[in-house]
């Protein structure tokens, strides 16, 4: 596996500039590693020839003195829910087999290609992006690289995206985030994940889970690399003004976000807060009682089940037995919700967003654990009761930010030798640039822990 800092975009660009590495050699290394046992179940499809061609093009351009963009010739992975022209988009399912192929690339994929990225393959995921665990009964479950002794979940739904980055098979993994699907696997695998404001990146060509919440975004090994990926796929790159951590006001919401927290997560988070405080951040505990209303705002059924049931209405009626039974159970929750109830959910959400935005005005970011548990063993979630309990805990904190239509980063905050723990920095919709400045300032402090 690549070391923590050896596979950042900056580190690879330096090696290429010094002549120690070519884009083509890098892509060949990645393709070879993708065939090793550690990478089992990470990819659902490899694009070896196309990736090699993009790498050779970048090498030729560099030799000719052409300035390259930061992603040119570097390996990037794409979640299996994005359209690639000429292929049926499976979205981690089996029931989509035989459906018409995509006529064109998803917007985000097309923009990565336009930047010269070497797209190495499509990555595995939870079926139809519908859980935070990352288990897939159709294509297998990629193993979390953080533990070589015990097979642990990678987190979901962008499971393969996370493992591809953690194993050094991609500098960035294009995923999606509906209730935490970027930040959860980033937290459990020790990566950085950036969930932007939903409207920043077009969702055209991305297989829907829940249109009210789906966000096109990516994970990588650093905040800077996440911002590079974001700039490649967003309508407009963020104009980030770097600021010192000194004097930043970080609010710790004590309602809901710390319920049922595991000791390892609590210890890592408290240590991280102390480090941020020593570095000059002002840490302020707040109640943020509105978080206790999430279950009410999201009832009956929930936005994801209701909207997913609309997406899959015909497919579900014809092929329900072919769905992952756990995904089918959640889609079924949405089938009986009346239109009037769904409209009332939307009204409650708008009111709730306004009240939360007013409550956290004046803070640079909210800060809390990304998820309250470390990655459990895959075997421990064999029974449905254990699976759904873990899924609820994994999604709880991150979903609050999707419901807010906010933006968030998950940053690693564990010490070496510990299972990964994520620290989430979050803010309101449209505050992505300011939040990025907070994440850039906090990241080196958290990297010094341990």
DSSP of 403-447: HTT-EEEEEE-PPTTSPP-EEEEEE-TT-HHHHHHHHHHHHHHHH
277 part of the active site: no
pLDDT per position as a tens digit, 278-287: 999 999 999 9
Q: What is the pLDDT of residue 1?
A: 39
Output phi, psi for 206, to 5 deg. Answer: -105, 130
Distance CA 402, CA 302 (A): 13
Q: 159, 164, 176, 181: which one is catalytic? A: 181
Averaged pLDDT of the chain: 97
Tally of CB atoms within 10 A around 332:
16
Distance CA 268, CA 450 (A): 10
% of the chain surpassing 90 pLDDT: 98
pLDDT per position as a tens digit, 21-34: 999 999 999 999 99
Distance CA 302, CA 353 (A): 16
157 part of the active site: yes
Residue 378, token pair as written in the block: 């895959």
181 part of the active site: yes
Q: 22, 77, 79, 131: which one is catalytic? A: 79
pLDDT per position as a tens digit, 86-113: 999 999 999 999 999 999 999 999 999 9
Residue 343 pLDDT > 90: yes
Q: Would you list the domain boundaries of the chain?
A: 9-295+337-447
Q: What is the pLDDT of residue 389?
A: 98
Residue 204 pLDDT > 50: yes
Nearest to 375 by CA among 172, 170, 162: 162
% of the chain surpassing 70 pLDDT: 99
Q: What is the pLDDT of residue 237?
A: 97
Residue 3 pLDDT > 70: no
Q: What is the mean pLDDT of the segment spanning 109-128?
A: 98
Residue 2 pLDDT > 50: no
Q: What is the pLDDT of residue 450?
A: 74
Strands of 216-336 (E only): list them.
216-220, 249-253, 282-286
Q: What is the mean pLDDT of the segment spanning 374-389?
A: 98
Q: 22, 77, 131, 157: which one is catalytic? A: 157
* Assigned superfamily of 9-295+337-447: Amidase signature (AS) domain (3.90.1300.10)
Q: What is the pLDDT of residue 4?
A: 55
């Amino acid at each position: 596996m690549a070391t923590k800092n050896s596979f950042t975009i900056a580190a690879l660009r330096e090696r290429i500039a010094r002549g120690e590495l070519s884009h083509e050699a890098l892509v060949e290394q990645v393709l070879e590693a993708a065939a090793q046992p550690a990478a089992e179940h990470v990819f659902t499809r490899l694009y070896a020839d196309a990736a090699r061609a993009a790498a050779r093009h970048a090498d030729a351009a560099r030799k000719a003195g052409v300035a390259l963009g930061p992603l040119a010739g570097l390996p990037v992975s794409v979640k299996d829910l994005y359209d690639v022209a000429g292929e049926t988009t499976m979205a981690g399912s089996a029931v989509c087999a035989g459906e018409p192929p995509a006529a064109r690339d998803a917007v985000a994929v097309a923009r990565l290609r336009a930047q010269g990225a070497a797209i190495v393959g499509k990555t595995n995921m939870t079926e139809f992006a519908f859980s935070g665990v990352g288990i897939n009964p159709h294509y297998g479950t990629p193993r979390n690289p953080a533990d070589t002794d015990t097979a642990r979940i990678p987190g979901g739904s962008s499971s393969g995206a996370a493992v591809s980055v953690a194993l050094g098979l991609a500098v960035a993994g294009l995923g999606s985030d509906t209730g935490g699907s970027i930040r959860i696997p980033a937290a459990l695998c020790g990566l950085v994940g950036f969930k932007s404001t939903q409207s920043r990146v077009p969702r055209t060509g991305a297989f829907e889970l829940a249109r009210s919440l789906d966000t096109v975004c990516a994970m990588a090994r650093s905040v800077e690399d996440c911002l590079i990926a974001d700039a490649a796929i967003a309508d407009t790159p963020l104009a980030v003004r770097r600021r010192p951590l000194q004097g930043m006001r970080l609010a710790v919401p004590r309602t809901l976000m710390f319920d049922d927290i595991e000791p390892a997560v609590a210890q890592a988070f408290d240590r991280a807060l102390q480090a941020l405080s020593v570095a000059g951040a002002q840490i302020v505990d707040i109640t943020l009682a509105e978080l206790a209303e999430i279950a009410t705002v999201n009832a009956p059924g929930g936005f994801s089940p209701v909207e997913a049931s609309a997406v899959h209405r015909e497919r579900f009626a014809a092929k329900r037995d072919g769905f992952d039974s756990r995904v089918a159970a959640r889609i079924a929750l949405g089938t009986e919700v009346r239109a009037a109830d769904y409209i009332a959910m939307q009204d409650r959400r708008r009111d709730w967003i306004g009240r939360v935005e007013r409550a956290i005005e004046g803070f640079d970011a909210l800060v809390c654990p990304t998820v309250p548990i470390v990655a459990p063993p895959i075997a421990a979630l064999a029974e449905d009761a254990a699976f759904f309990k873990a899924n609820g805990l994994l999604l709880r904190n991150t979903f609050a930010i999707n419901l807010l239509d906010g933006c968030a980063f998950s940053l690693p905050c564990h010490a070496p030798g510990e299972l990964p723990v994520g620290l989430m920095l979050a803010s309101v919709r449209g505050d992505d640039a300011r939040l990025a400045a907070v994440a850039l300032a906090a990241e080196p402090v958290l990297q010094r822990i341990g």
